[in-house]
């Protein structure tokens, strides 16, 4: 099967184009700086993955921004840190600032010359990286 046989390429944004792990760790810094124990990057990401998947299981239709706010609250509880709901919400909105991988924009610009690009996302702004003239955005029901 040749790539040239396709007219449309569809892919997920977070983890493929957006470095969501670095984005999460950076956005969690206000919380992790308050934790008394030393947390490694893997500790943070594993705890986040647990709380995110658990929250998604119980509230599958929750918007991703709102889900992340709950994850922040659960992480704070696990690590014994008091936080405000405003801090939780700020973390939820931080997804907008999570960085693209260094080669994402250049690669997309190249691919857009040859294919219609479609992103799959559960966020409201998941297609922003495609820019104008993109093929489309397919959002999950929780976007």
Active-site residues, by number, are 12
Contact 18, 99 (CB under 8 A): yes
What is each CA distance from 121 to 5, 44, 53, 83, in whole angstroms? 25, 23, 16, 28
Three-state secondary-structure class, residue 54: helix
Judged on CB neighbours under 10 Å (0-12, 13-18, 19+), 104 is: middle
């Amino acid at each position: 099967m040749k790539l040239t046989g396709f007219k449309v390429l569809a892919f997920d944004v977070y983890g493929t184009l957006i470095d969501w792990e670095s984005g999460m760790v950076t956005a969690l810094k206000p919380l992790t700086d308050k934790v008394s124990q030393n947390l490694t990057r893997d500790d943070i990401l594993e705890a986040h993955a647990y709380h995110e998947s658990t929250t998604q299981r119980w509230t599958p239709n929750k918007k991703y921004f709102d889900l992340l706010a709950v994850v922040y609250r659960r992480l704070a509880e696990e690590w014994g840190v008091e936080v405000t709901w405003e801090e939780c919400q700020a973390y939820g909105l931080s997804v907008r600032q999570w960085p693209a991988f260094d080669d994402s924009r250049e690669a997309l610009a190249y691919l857009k010359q040859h294919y219609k690009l479609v992103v799959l996302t559960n966020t409201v702004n998941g297609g922003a990286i495609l820019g104008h003239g993109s093929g489309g955005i397919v959002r999950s029901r929780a976007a």
